[in-house]
Amino acid sequence: MPLSFATFLPHPPLLLPGVGNKEDLEMVSSTTRAMEEIAKRFKEKRIDTALIITPHGIINQYSFTAQKSPLFSFKFGNFTKDFKGDLSFLKKIENLVKLVEEKEIDHGAGVPLFYLNPLKVTIISSSFLSREDHFNFGKELGKIIDSNNERVALIISGDLSHRLTPLSPAGFSKRGEEFDQTLLNFLKEGKDLLKIEEDLVMEAGECGYNPLLIGQGTLNKKETNVEILSYEGPFGVGYGVVDFKL
C-alpha cells in the first residue's frame, strides 16, 4: 500500500503539557495550532503505523539506526508517555539500518509522537553519512513502504535554523533566516534539497535538513501538494509545520 501520510514537524519540548509555561505557549501559538491540525488530519487517515525520522536519537557515523523495542518510553521532566513499537515493520527494514535495542526515545521523536499518538511506531535516526546517502536511504525506505500492506505515515522531525537571533542557542547568523526561507521555498516548489548550498546549511545550525533529505527520498516521484501550515522562530529557533499532501 502506498505511503498514506507525510509531514514535517518541529520538536521543542515546551510544546508538551507541563513543560512550557503560559507565556512560552502564547509565543508558539501558531506552531501549536498547526500541530493540532496535523494531528487531526493524521487521525482522519486511519494510519496503521508511523515511521518517524529523528535527528536526535542514536546517531551513528557510518549507518542509519533504528531502535528496537516492543514498547518505547518518552520522558521529559515530569512528562512521560509510551508508544508501541512496530517490530513487524522493523524486520522489513533491518537490512537498511543498524538495530539497537533501546526503549527510551529522544525529544525529536517524542514531541511529534505525542501530538499524533500513532498505534505503532518505528524510530529511525539520521546519521553522519553524506547528504546523498540520506536521500538514497529514503528512496529505499519508500520502496519498502510501498510494498507494505498497512497504511504508513512518514513523520519527519526537525527544527530549522538555531541561529535566528542574538539569543539563539547557537548564536546569531544572518544566514539563519535565509536558510529557513530557502528550505521552505524548496519544499513548496518541489525542488531538490540536495541543491541547497552546503555552506548555507552549515551556517544555519539546523537539525532538520538531513531528516528532510530522507523524507524527500521517501517521497521521490510521488505527487505531493505541499502546504506550510506555520513557521515562526520566537526563541531564535525556526519551527516549521509542513503537510506533504499525497
User: What tens digit of pLDDT does each residue of 118-148 get?
Assistant: 999 999 999 999 999 999 999 999 999 999 9
What integer is the mean pLDDT of 156-175?
Answer: 95
Residue 169 pLDDT: 86
Question: CATH fold of 5-245, please?
Answer: Protocatechuate 4,5-dioxygenase; Chain B (3.40.830)
Domain ranges of the chain: 5-245
Model pTM score: 0.97
| pLDDT higher than 80, residue 1 | no
Residue 20 pLDDT: 87
Contacts of 88 (CB under 8 A, 6+ apart): none
Residue 140 pLDDT: 98
Asked whether 31 and 239 are in contact (CB, 8 A), the reply is yes
What integer is the mean pLDDT of 98-116?
Answer: 97
Contacts of 79 (CB under 8 A, 6+ apart): 16, 17, 18, 19
What integer is the mean pLDDT of 136-162?
Answer: 97
Sign, CA torsion 94/99/105/111: negative
The secondary structure element, H or E, covering residue 52 is strand 49-54
Residue 167 pLDDT: 86
- pLDDT digits over 174-189, tens only? 999 999 999 999 999 9
| pLDDT higher than 90, residue 115 | yes
Contacts of 51 (CB under 8 A, 6+ apart): 89, 121, 122, 124, 141, 145, 152, 153, 154, 155
What integer is the mean pLDDT of 97-120?
Answer: 97
The order of strands in the sheet holding 71-76 is 79-84, 71-76, 104-105
End-to-end CA distance of the chain: 13
**Three-state SS for 53?**
strand
Residue 226 pLDDT: 98
What integer is the mean pLDDT of 81-86?
Answer: 98
Q: Which ranges in 121-174 belong to alpha helices (H)?
A: 131-146
- pLDDT digits over 25-49, tens only? 999 999 999 999 999 999 999 999 9
Asked whether 38 and 112 are in contact (CB, 8 A), the reply is no
Q: What is the mean pLDDT of the chain?
A: 96
What integer is the mean pLDDT of 156-185?
Answer: 96
Residue 29 pLDDT: 97
| pLDDT higher than 90, residue 154 | yes
Separation of alpha carbons 81 and 165, rounded Å: 33
Furthest CA-CA distance within the chain? 49
Asked whether 131 and 214 are in contact (CB, 8 A), the reply is no
